[in-house]
Amino acid sequence: MLPAVVKLCCGISYPHLRTMTGLQRTALAVIGQEITYRQQSGQIQHQLRPQASLRFHEARPEDVKPAKADELFYEQQGREAMSKALSMLEDKDGWKAEITESNGDVIHSKVLSGSRKVFRLEAVLEASVDELYDLLFVRVEEMHQWNPNLQHIKVLKHVGPETIITHEVSAETAGNLIGQRDFLSIRHSCKRKSSVVIGGAAIHLESFPPQAGFVRAEDGPTCIIIQALDEGSRKSRFTWLLNMDIKGWLPKSIVNQALPRAQLDFTRHLRRRLDLS
């Protein structure tokens, strides 16, 4: 069913098919203490232990003002991220079951080249496609109100009606020696009557460099697919590809245990928010 949804919604052909989008950020709350981190790129230096009084730079929309040519470039980046993530989901080889919950939520994992692991969550939510699109894309700046693992999310730029640039900061958690992380992402959405795809990936902007006291993690290519379960039904099938590099020195075994649990954690908070609707 997925190929039909993708082709109908996005008009993308295979095999040329990587926000949530701010969703990957919940993984950070699951990870506890970390060993000391230092940036090795030689371009950016981060403070290893932020002071208690440290405040992140409040992102403002005027911080990012792409010109028309840049807007086309960002839109293309968003589309390419979505295409690569969908292609990853379409490849049926190599997926292995990780977690099966009593409520029907299932997570599978797959190891990519370079031994990086990605995770695919599948769940059924008591909400329409429009409701979920509104919460996860249109009103993404309100996500911290119902997701306690997110401190801050700001749309820096609307690049056309379907693409946005966002800055996010994870919530501070006890026992985390490094402190919070931030994310700079491009998000692209494709909406139709019975389905929505939201794709995204990390983006680099000279006008918004990594900030002192934060480790800039990177997500993507990643995507969320929301499909109406049945015609006329208020339920939706929710598929989320989680692909994230937290940029620390934690052993992969710990990260790979934490990330799928973070998906379940986020989905639980999302269901609680939907119960209030």
| CATH value at residue 218 | 3.30.530.20
Per-residue pLDDT band at 116 (split at 50, 70, 90): confident
Residue 43 covered by a domain: no
What are the DSSP calls for 168-214, one per residue? EEEPP-TT-SS--EEEEEEEEEEE-SSEEEEEEEE---TTS---TT-
Residue 48 covered by a domain: no
Identify the weakest region by mean pLDDT among 22-36, 116-130, 198-212.
Answer: 22-36
Is 152 or 119 the better-scoring residue by pLDDT?
Answer: 119
* Residue 77: C-alpha distances to residues 71, 80, 96, 106 (Å): 10, 5, 29, 30
Per-residue pLDDT band at 60 (split at 50, 70, 90): low
Residue 165 covered by a domain: yes
> pLDDT value at position 206?
86
Containing structural domain, residue 115 = 2-32+58-275
Tokens of 169: 């900061």
Residue 25 covered by a domain: yes
Per-residue pLDDT for 144 more than 80? yes
Per-residue pLDDT for 255 more than 90? no
71-109 per-position pLDDT tens digit = 888 899 999 999 999 999 999 999 999 999 999 999 999
Per-residue pLDDT band at 46 (split at 50, 70, 90): very low
Q: What are the b/e assignments for 111-120, b being 16+ CB within 10 Å?
A: eeeeeebbbb
Residue 119 covered by a domain: yes
- Mean per-residue pLDDT over the chain, rounded: 77
Tokens of 223: 């995507």
Is 240 or 35 the better-scoring residue by pLDDT?
Answer: 240
Residue 39 covered by a domain: no
Residue 13 covered by a domain: yes
Name the residue among 209, 186, 215 with its Cα closest to residue 199: 186
Strands 181-191 and 195-202: antiparallel
Name the residue among 176, 202, 177 with its Cα closest to residue 80: 202
Average pLDDT value for residue range 145-164: 92
> pLDDT value at position 254?
82
| Domain total in the chain | 1
Distance in angstroms (rounded) separating the CA atoms of residues 63 and 178: 26
Residue 102 covered by a domain: yes
Average pLDDT value for residue range 212-229: 89
Per-residue pLDDT for 272 more than 90? yes
Beta carbons of 183 and 213 less than 8 angstroms apart: no
Per-residue pLDDT band at 170 (split at 50, 70, 90): confident
Per-residue pLDDT for 16 more than 50? no
> pLDDT value at position 18?
34
> pLDDT value at position 173?
64
Average pLDDT value for residue range 131-150: 94
Sole residue written with tokens 């009606």: 161
Radius of gyration of the chain (CA): 18
Half-sphere exposure of 41 (CA within 13 A, CB side): 10
Percentage of residues in the chain with pLDDT exceeding 70? 73
> pLDDT value at position 188?
95
